Amino acid sequence: MSNRQTEIALALQVVPPFTDDAALKAEVERRKAFIKQCLRNAGGKVLVLGISGGVDSLTAGRLAQLTVEELREETGDANYRFIAVRLPYNIQHDEQDAAASLAFIKADVEDTVNIAASVLGLGDQVAHLHGLTPERRDFVIGNTKARIRMVAQYTIANANNGLVIGTDHAAEAVMGFFTKFGDGACDLAPLSGLVKGQVRAIARFLGAPESLVLKTPTADLEELRPGMPDEESHGVTYAQIDAFLQGETVSDEAYQIIVRTYDNTRHKRQLPFVP
C-alpha cells in the first residue's frame, strides 16, 4: 500500500474487507445502531430518503426501514417511521428498477415528487444558462436536478421533524462523485466508509434481488447521455477503486486517475472556505 493509499483510506475511514458473514452482519448491526443514535441525538423519529433504483439507495433504504421497525419494537412508539421518496424527472428511464427497490425496501411510507416542473421553472429564470452549449447546459441542469431532489427531501423531512439520509460511500467519496449541496447534502450517511463491493454485499445479505445488487451504477442526471455508467465518468472501474481503497495493487493508470480525481475534488469533501 502506498503512502497516498494509506492517507486517503484513513481520511475516508474505509472499512476493512469483510472476513466472513459474521463480520458483515456485525457491520450491518453497527450501522443500524448508528442510525438509531442519530435519531436520538436529533430528537426525531422520521427518516427520509430518495430512492433512485440503484444499489446504494436500495441498501440505505432497507437499513433505514429495519432500523425504525426495531425502534418501534424496542420503544413501543409507533411514530418511528421511514419515508421513501421517488424523485423522477418526468419519466425515469429505469423506473422498473426504482419500483423493484421500493418493493424490496417495504418502507412505511412511499411518496413521489416529480421534480421536472421545479427544474424547468428555475432553468427558464436563469439567463446564464441560455448561451451555453447543449452539452454544458445539460451538465449544469443535471446538477440542478440533484439539488432540487435534496430540497424536496428536506421539505418532507422538515414537515415531519425528520432527518434526511444520504447514500455516499467511500468509493464515491474518493472520486468526488456527488453533487455538492445536492446528493452530497444530508443529515446522516449510513454507508460512509464502505466500498462499492461492500455495499453490494450488504444488499445481498439483506436479501435484495440479485438484478438490483449487480445493477450497473449510473447517476442518470444528463438527458443527452441517459443512463451513462458511473465507471465511464470515472475512467476506472469500481473494482479498481475498491482495490485502491483497500490497499491492493492497481495499475499505474488507475492509481493516477484515482489520486488525481481525489485531489481535484477535495473541495467537495470540505466545509466552505473561510478566511
> Which residues participate in catalysis according to the annotation?
56, 172
Within 96-176, strands assigned E span 109-112, 163-164
Q: Which amino acid is at 28?
A: V
Burial of 136 (0-12, 13-18, 19+ CB in 10 A): exposed
Within the chain, strands assigned E span 46-50, 81-86, 109-112, 163-164
Q: Which amino acid is at 213?
A: V
d(C-alpha 168, C-alpha 184), whole Å: 7
For residue 241, what are the contacts with CB-CB under 8 A and spacing of at least 6? Answer: 171, 174, 175, 195, 196, 234, 258
Contact 156, 48 (CB under 8 A): yes
- Number of H helices and number of E strands within the chain? 12, 4
For residue 274, what are the contacts with CB-CB under 8 A and spacing of at least 6? Answer: none
| 84, β-bridge pairs | 49, 110
Joined grid coordinates for residue 54: 440503484
- Helix/strand/coil (H/E/C) assignment for every residue in 191-213: CCCCCHHHHHHHHHHCCCCHHHH
Contact 153, 164 (CB under 8 A): yes
